[in-house]
Structure 1
Amino acid sequence: MEHLLWLIPACPLAGFLILTLTGKSMPPAWVAIIGAGMVSLSAIFTIIIGIDFLTFPPASGHHSQTLWTWMEVADFHPKITLYLDALSLVFIFVITFIGALIHLYSVAFMAFDKDYSRFFACMNLFVFSMLLLVLADNLLLLYLGWEGVGLCSYLLIGFWYEHSENGYAARKAFIITRIGDTAMAIGIFVIFYQFGTLLIPDILAKAPSLWHPGASMATITALLLLAGGLGKSAQLPFQTWLPDAMAGPSPVSALIHAATMVTAGVYLIARMHVIFELSPTVQLIVAGIGAATLFIAGFSALTQYDLKRVLAYSTISQIGYMFLALGLGAWTAAIFHFMIHAFFKALLFLAAGAVIDALNHEHNMSKMGGLKNKLPVVFWTFVIGSASLIALPLISSGFYSKDQILWFAWASKNGNPLLWLIAFLGAFITALYTTRMVILTFWGATKTEVQRLPGKLITIPLIILAFFTICAGFIELPHNFGSLTLFSDFLHQVLPETVLKSTANGEFSFQLLAALATFGGIYTAYILWHKQPERIEKLKRNEAVLLLYSFWHAGWGFDQLYKTVIVRPVVFLANINKNDVVDKIYQGITLVSIGLYRCLSFTQSGSLRWYIMGLVVGAIIILGIQIIL
């Protein structure tokens, strides 16, 4: 089946090309068939190849397919080679399967948009770029996909470019992620200089013999790769672009948060785990950044009233949990949470989009309420997604994935009480803001009437995602729940086993504490926003609380800090420099060219006699010059 591997990225690429070249002249029905159909075909091929991979595991642990040689420069001849192993199989399944459901949902959600074909063309390119990223066998091809998802995020965040704030959000995402991408590009140069190759398997095999643990070059390389991952995955200090990225349509938000873009950093660190293991310092930095990000983003989510911005900060926080796990060396726990998060976050964004569409594009939760009986399918699927987000014990898949990370924060070789405490508090905050979101959106009095009910193309993807949100977590049970560890056993072909401390015990006690955090957050939110909402109003009248609330609402002041320290000085210098001496030279050349053009334009009189006379005079002058010479 490995000879069919190329079809997985080829289908969405073909969809992009067809829609780009002929989409405007197509009927909307054909645009929908090609846009959603090509990604669905990719998902079908992924399932077929995945079943074959699981049924008949390759002796080498991977399949590879070389399509052609990209370029040949001296000894450098990178190839377009697709590489499928356990790690990339998990990612392509999430990308194509969830991507197909999002495209199906988009058929109805975007039906009345004037740029229907452009939307699906960009979405298909987005899926193709992410598939290329995770299937690449070398860092150059991976970087091509990496930049592709950056381009697509720019195109789709600013999809409704008629509004200036959408264009600003797209530019902000593009520029901030470019900072990390530049560092990553430098890291790739360093790797090539050190190893003489960009083939990922060769790099991972050679690294332990070339660098000893703690080597300075290993640390520098890991830091450069980490910067790229932080930018794409919206982690500190690059997290400010993601909340503004909600300017795009809701299906775009679902695709960015669940199946593409922000998960790229998680994949990069997991794929290059050998380099990170050779630098314990950088691993500690990864864990620290993840812990700080999940904590900061959780408090910001607690103060938002835009439904999609709450979910955006939630994504930043949940990716923080994944980075925490990566930094702890809990590689399979990070990827397991990535997969589970993809299901419930896609579900939450698509359900939120259905709510917003039903309320005629109302985003403000304070203007919602009373929707649980009016939108029952949306309500129940949203509740299922929310239960998984808050890791409701035993019955939600989020419990099984997040519980692993909390346990490893304490019991793994790199874990410590501080990291566990931050993750534990993050779990409480997650339950608090998620329950608040559900209460404000679906309970209470109706503040905005439902304008339209979602159709089947909206509700069917929600139901499918809700099913996987409930069931997916049971393929990997906690250590003390039994021996069902299908996911980690599968990934251990590629990723190493997490090392636990010899004194680690009492996992059940920590699960009880995590459950208390979850139920404590639910109960607190129920009291504050449903039972006794006057308490919140009373708290807001306190000047200190109001100041803290505003600080969290503004994303802890990072945007203001960057505007003050970076944006305004750069704009100020650019304004000073816009009329410099060098510009005068080019302006002078332009003025001379315009003057000569205007002189010549006088000869274009339209009179045939003048043209003939000009030819005669020119001929006489040329002959005279030749006679003289």
Structure 2
Amino acid sequence: MSLLPLTFLLPLAGTLVLALSRGRLGPRSSAVVGVVSVGLAALVTAWIGWHFVDSGVGGVDMTLWTWLSVGDFRPTIGLRLDGLSLTMIGIITGVGFLIHLFAAWYMQGEAGVTRFFAFMNLFVFSMLLLVLGDNMLLLFLGWEGVGLCSYLLIGYYYWTEANGWAAFKAFIVTRLGDVFLAIGLFLMFRELGTLNIAEILQRAPEVWAEGAWQAQLAALLILGGALGKSAQLPLHTWLADAMAGPTPVSALIHAATMVTAGVYLIARLHGVFELAPGVLYLVGLIGAVTLLLAGFAALAQTDIKRVLAYSTMSQIGYMFLALGVGAYDAAIFHLMMHGFFKALLFLSAGAVIVSCHHEQDMRRLGGLWRRLPLAYAGFVVGGAALAALPLVTAGFYSKDEILWEALAAGHGGLMLAGLIGAFLTSLYTLRLIIGTFHGEMKSDNARHAEPGRGLVHGLPLVVLAVLSTFLGAWIHPPLEAVLPTSPGAGVHGAGHTVLGIVAAATSLVGLGLGAWLFLTRWRWLSERVSTGWAARLWWLWHNAWGFDIAYDRLLVRPYRGLVRLLESDLIDRLLLLAAWLAWGLHRGLSLTQSGKMRYYAATMAAGVTLVLLVLVVSG
């Protein structure tokens, strides 16, 4: 376990080498540094994981040094390796390495490759620090690091103004959540006297009774931070715009790093949420609503990356639903499976985009399944896992577990929302595949598509495709000693079997309906959504239920109006009123100093007359 620091120091070293190269490294050398540093971190993680599981220890703590010492406050640079953090670093370094490897192909011919891989390595470093930190202060450092890296990478093509605004939006919206989390840290330190995660989980039930307002407030503040990072309602609007960055960035954000941080945070601090059952249920409710709204929004997108973005939002909603019913193990299991098939889908989308000369509008693609067989296979396998195709895909087993846990916990409404979400997932997934790969080629970019070649292009897609099948579902996170047992864990009776059949049928019905609509009734469907109420519904879903428009009118425009009102600095003018009064009096008195004797004599006579008049009247 002494190698544990290398898992995040290697990506950090890659960042430093790239950042300090000052342009001396070419694109190929920069890609090698970026890929190898994360690849070595993945090998170290595999070695550590094998020894950890083989040893059977529940957890390992490692203190590197004391960060600062102020009175009794002595936060450390300390690491905690247990089943949860091991699972997370496995996903981050393993899937992250495959994404970096694919990026070496994707970024060929792009400007600023050194800068790109420096930011990507820093992203991996920050996320590893987040999940390995044994205290909330170190976790928060990594938390802010991934926020910074998301800004840098989403706005990678900064010379296009829209990309800069997309990065700015992601940074600001996630910062709103971070403010809540920061306040939550202050509250926990004041109430519990520590920021060490293990001590928080130990002291929280000793200090707070179940339902205590302090516990509920702390849980709400933590949830606020998680909503921002994991793009859940109402702090979800940044995620679709995050597609402005290169496609490997989208894969890293959606599959291996940033959006999983909120799920990890709630699972890690489960003890606090257990003391606030109302807030815990709110987590599940927000997840259920988000997965439905995002599912409908995905149905009406035309950009293949935006479809996948809303799909990620929906799948993270499933994880929040699982957290909300106390099925922490199911949430992390789905997080892992989602990392496999969503990375596959995004990298396959990247292969399509590069091959079609950066065309990513489904309305201008089509007919590519023969021209791009590997990307097509990636979409089919990844899409099947996303739609939870029964028995043969990884997504079926993780999603089925979430639905069963919701039912076993007595939350039938949340389970029903999950089933509806599964139906929607099948519809938009099939629409995505058919619109991209079937039918006629609709543009010259599609007709002149050039399939990707080479090991760095094909190997990540093949490995992720294998992990997205039922073979990936054999990888079970070692969470027994870390997270509490969920209500339906280990129960596989008739009820579970029936629900599994219902879930499988829901997925198959959705796929069948999608095949009928998008293969045989596409023209009829297009005509129906072009006029009347269907057109208005399409517009609503295409604009993601109008949240951006509502926020613009309710928050952004009033704020800008206030800024314009204060542009003249009214408060400053009020403070300067005394100075202006003194200046005005001075100007008035200075006019009396003319230097002309007759004016002075007249003034003195007028003054004496006025005084005598006052004395006579008052006497």
* TM-score, normalised relative to structure 1: 0.89
Matched residue type, 1:152? C
Question: Residues 88 and 472 of structure 1: is their aligned pair in 2 closer, same or farther, counting only changes over 3 Å?
Answer: farther
- Residue 479 of structure 2: aligned partner: 491
1:334-353 counterparts in 2 under 5 A? Answer: 334-353=331-350
Deviation at residue 505 of structure 1 after TM alignment: 4.9
Q: Does 1:416 align with 2:405?
A: no
Q: 2:353 and 2:36 mapped to 1: Cα distance? A: 26
Q: Distance in 2 between matches of 1:578 and 1:37?
A: 51
2:501 aligned residue:
512
Deviation at residue 57 of structure 1 after TM alignment: 2.2
Amino acid at match of 1:442: F
- The corresponding residue for 1:78 is 75
Gapped regions of structure 1 (runs ≥ 5): 477-485, 588-629
Matched, 1:570 2:568: no
* Number of aligned residues: 571
Q: What amino acid is the match of 1:434?
A: T
Q: Secondary structure at the match of 1:3?
A: coil
**Paired residue for 2:447?**
449
Structure 2 partner of 1:169? 166
Contact 2:273 2:279 in 1 (8 A): yes
CA deviations over 1:235-270 (Å, ceiling 9, x no partner): 000111000000000000000000111000000000
Contact 1:218/1:279 (<8 A) preserved: yes
Q: What are the within-5 Å matches in structure 2 for residues 283-298 of structure 1?
A: 283-298=280-295
Question: How far has the Cα of 1:279 moved from its partner?
Answer: 0.7
Matched to 1:564, the amino acid is: R
Whichever residue aligns with residue 292 of structure 2, its letter is F
Structure-2 separation of matches of 1:547 and 1:47: 51
Match of 1:98 among 85, 95, 99: 95
Deviations 1:438-483 (A, max 9, x none): 001111112221342212211211011111111444327xxxxxxx
TM-fit CA distance, 1:503: 13
Distance, in Å, in 2 between the alignment partners of 1:568 and 1:149 is 29
* Structure 2: distance between partners of 1:584 and 1:282: 46
> Contact (CA 8 Å) 1:398, 1:473: kept in 2 or not?
no
1:212 alignment counterpart: 209
For residue 424 of structure 1, report the CA deviation from its aligned partner: 0.6
2:611 aligned residue: none
Instruction: Supply the distance in 1 between the matched residues of 2:34 and 2:495 (Cα, whole angstroms).
Output: 50
* Structure 2 alignment gaps of length 5 or more: 577-619
Structure 1 letter corresponding to 2:485: E
Deviates more, 1:511-520 or 1:266-275: 511-520
- Contact map agreement 1:325 1:334 (CA 8 A) in 2: yes
Note the alpha carbon deviations across 1:292-346, whole angstroms, 9 max, x for none: 0000000000000000000000000000000000000001000000000000000
Match of 1:155 among 152, 161, 170: 152
TM-score by length of 2: 0.90
Aligned alpha-carbon RMSD (Å): 1.7
SS state at 2:194 partner: coil
CA distance in 2, matches of 1:43, 1:33: 15
Counterpart in 2 of 1:29? 28
Alignment of 1:426 with 2:426, yes or no, is no
- The structure-2 alpha-carbon separation of the partners of 1:43 and 1:23, relative to structure 1 and needing over 3 Å to count, comes to farther
Aligned equivalent of 2:598: none
Give distance in 2, aligned partners of 1:69 and 1:442: 55
Identity %: 50
CA distance in 2, matches of 1:112, 1:102: 18
Q: Is the 8 A contact 1:403 1:514 kept in 2?
A: yes
Decide which moves more: 495-504 or 272-281: 495-504
Q: Which residue of 2 aligns with 1:358?
A: 355
Change beyond 3 A, Cα 1:289–1:40: same
Pair 319,534 (structure 1): closer, same or farther in 2 beyond 3 Å: same
Listed one character per residue, the Cα deviations across residues 79-100 of structure 1 (whole Å, up to 9, x for unaligned) are: 1011110000000000001111
Distance in 2, Cα, partners of 1:530 & 1:203 = 55
**Given that residues 344 and 464 in structure 2 are in contact (C-alpha distance below 8 angstroms), is that contact kept between their aligned partners in structure 1?**
yes
1:210-609 equivalences under 5 Å are 210-412=207-409, 415-447=410-442, 448-456=446-454, 457-475=456-474, 486-487=476-477, 490-500=478-488, 505-580=494-569
State how far apart, in whole Å, the 2-side matches of 1:142 and 1:68 are: 15
Which one has the largest radius of gyration?
Answer: 2
Moved more, 333-342 or 30-39: 30-39
Structure 2: distance between partners of 1:463 and 1:529: 27
Q: Do 1:392 and 1:399's aligned partners in 2 also have CA atoms closer than 8 Å?
A: yes
Distance 1:70 1:240 in 2: 36
Moved over 6 A (4+): 501-504, 582-587
Q: Map residues 48-127 of structure 1 onto 2, 5 A cutoff.
A: 48-58=47-57, 61-127=58-124
Q: By how many angstroms is 1:578 displaced?
A: 2.1
Give the secondary structure class of the aligned counterpart of 1:25. coil
> How far apart are the structure 2 equivalents of 1:136 and 1:503?
36
Partner of 1:8: 7
**In structure 1, distance between residues paired with 2:93 and 2:37:** 10
**Is 2:175 aligned against 1:178?**
yes
Letter in 1 for 2:221: L
CA distance in 2: counterparts of 1:250 and 1:311, whole angstroms:
11
User: 1:40-93 CA distances to partner (integer Å, 9 max, x unpaired)?
Assistant: 1100100000100011122xx111221111111111111101111000000000
Q: CA deviation at 1:536?
A: 0.5
What is the CA distance between 1:586 and its match in structure 2?
13
Asked whether the 8 Å contact 1:340–1:472 carries over to 2, the reply is no
**Partners in 2 of 1:230 and 1:504 — Cα distance?**
35
Q: Is the 8 A contact 1:6 1:65 kept in 2?
A: no
Is residue 180–residue 227 contact of structure 1 (8 Å, CA) maintained in 2?
yes
| Whole-angstrom CA distance in 1 between matches of 2:216 and 2:575 | 45
- DSSP 3-state at the match of 1:65: strand
In the alignment, the residues of structure 1 paired with residue 358 and residue 168 of structure 2 have an alpha-carbon distance, to the nearest angstrom, of: 23
Question: Which position in structure 2 is the counterpart of 1:601?
Answer: none
Deviation at 1:409, TM superposition (A): 1.7
